């Protein structure tokens, strides 16, 4: 069952095409992250879902109802959507209760129980976001994290079908961002509302979403689970943009064997367990740092030989830079497996 569907949607601003014939399904209760660099179209897509813009072509459906096409659109207040912005967007002259209760008066589809007893519903939402008892405070009396919690409570108070979040944590400090991630995930589990979450922070997308949609130049580059996006990228862009990747150079003897170029013109066959068809023409194999394993080298060792050029301690792991021929590979290793600068090592590839 779909909460929302984007079907063949394009959006032009004058001569600039921001979205190209986009298709996207957002399942009931699904947490979808739109991930991509600035200017890729993710915020434009969010504004189309919200009802702030109309598509140039194509259709947008929410809850099995067509809410937008090239001929017109339903306004935001008739779509039963909640929105959380990067800027909080709280009314400074209204206290916390009045800010959170605002949608209960102005949204078209609000359950009767919430309209009859708005104070109880607002109190319930403030408890959920950790602001119980703060109804009488004004935004000027709140910290950045508290303001974002108020914005979140306001967005979910009327039980929206779809919750749209546009870079909601980017103005918060690192520790607060981690805390708010947990709280957004908790709210998602408790309410079961479908969420579309715009971010350019790959760790946010990987850590929170059920599905990640990687966008580039107004198109969907790849959509899949965080695991699929990370370990099974379908393009050079996805492999580069999401997480770190080593691009091993060589050739493909068949879809399941990559022939790694070695020093002296030799090749090392590397078995691969999945389809890397989109990388065949580029003559590379994308490998994440944690898909490489280092072993001690000794005279007569056969395999891929490298030299340690840099080591960074990362707490539970070590990040190595390994010189392999003319290339430098990044390898993540357990802290118990230590190698020294300039030490020769064997590098195993596990993909």
Q: For 206-227, what is each residue's pLDDT tens digit?
A: 999 999 999 999 999 999 999 9
Mean pLDDT of 288-304: 88
pLDDT digits (tens, 9 = 90+) for 37-53: 999 999 999 999 999 99
In the chain, the percentage of residues whose pLDDT exceeds 70 is 100
- Model confidence at 1, in pLDDT bands (50, 70, 90)? low
pLDDT of residue 303: 81
pLDDT over 90 (residue 110): no
Please report where in the chains the tokens 């790959």 appear, as a residue. Answer: 202
Domains of the chain in sequence order: 2-231 (3.40.50.300), 244-349 (2.40.50.140)
Mean pLDDT over 4-31 rounds to 96
Averaged pLDDT for residues 174-181: 90
Mean pLDDT check: name the lowest of 105-109, 277-281, 302-306, 307-311: 105-109
Supply the pLDDT for residue 339: 93
pLDDT at 32: 97
Residues 167, 86: contact at Cβ < 8 Å?
yes
pLDDT for res 88: 81
Q: How confident is the model at residue 335 (pLDDT cuts 50, 70, 90)?
A: confident
Q: Looking at 1-15, 64-78, 89-103, 264-278, which range is the least confident one?
A: 264-278
Residues contacting residue 182 through CB under 8 Å, at least 6 positions apart: none
Percentage of the residues of the chain whose pLDDT score is greater than 90: 78
Tell me: the pLDDT tens digits for 302-329? 789 999 999 999 888 999 999 998 899 9
Name the pLDDT band for 17 (thresholds 50, 70, 90).
Answer: very high
Write down the pTM of the prediction: 0.90
Is residue 60's pLDDT more than 80?
A: yes
């Amino acid at each position: 069952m779909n909460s929302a569907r984007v079907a063949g949607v394009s959006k032009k601003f004058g001569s600039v095409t921001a979205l190209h014939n986009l298709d996207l399904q957002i399942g009931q209760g699904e947490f979808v992250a739109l991930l991509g660099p600035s200017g890729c179209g993710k915020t434009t897509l969010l504004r189309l879902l919200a009802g702030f813009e109309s598509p140039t072509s194509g259709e947008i459906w929410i809850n099995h109802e067509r809410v937008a096409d090239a001929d017109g659109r339903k306004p935001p207040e008739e779509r039963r959507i909640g929105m959380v912005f990067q800027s909080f967007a709280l009314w400074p002259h209204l206290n916390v209760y009045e800010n959170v209760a605002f949608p209960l008066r102005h949204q078209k589809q609000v359950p009767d129980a919430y309209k009859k007893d708005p104070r109880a519903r607002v109190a319930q939402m403030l408890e959920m976001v950790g602001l119980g008892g703060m109804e009488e405070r004004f935004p000027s009396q709140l910290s950045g994290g508290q303001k974002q919690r108020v914005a979140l409570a306001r967005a979910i108070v009327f039980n929206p079908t779809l919750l749209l979040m546009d870079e909601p944590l980017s103005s918060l400090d690192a520790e607060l961002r981690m805390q708010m991630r947990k709280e957004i995930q908790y709210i998602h589990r408790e309410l079961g509302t479908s969420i579309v979450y715009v971010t350019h922070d790959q760790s946010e997308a990987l850590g929170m979403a059920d599905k990640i949609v990687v966008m580039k130049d107004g198109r969907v580059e790849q959509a899949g689970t965080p695991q699929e996006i990370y370990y099974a990228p379908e393009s050079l862009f996805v492999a580069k943009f999401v997480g770190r990747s080593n691009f091993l150079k060589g050739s493909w003897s068949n879809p399941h064997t990559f022939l790694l170029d070695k020093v002296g013109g030799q090749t090392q066959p590397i078995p691969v367990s999945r389809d890397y068809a989109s990388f065949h023409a580029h003559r590379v194999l994308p490998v994440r740092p944690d898909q490489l394993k280092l072993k001690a080298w000794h005279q007569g060792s056969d395999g891929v030989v490298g030299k340690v050029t840099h080591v960074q301690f990362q707490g539970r792991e070590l990040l190595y830079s390994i010189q392999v021929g003319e290339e430098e590979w990044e390898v993540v290793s357990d802290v118990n497996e230590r190698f020294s600068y300039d030490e020769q090592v064997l590098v195993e590839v596990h993909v």
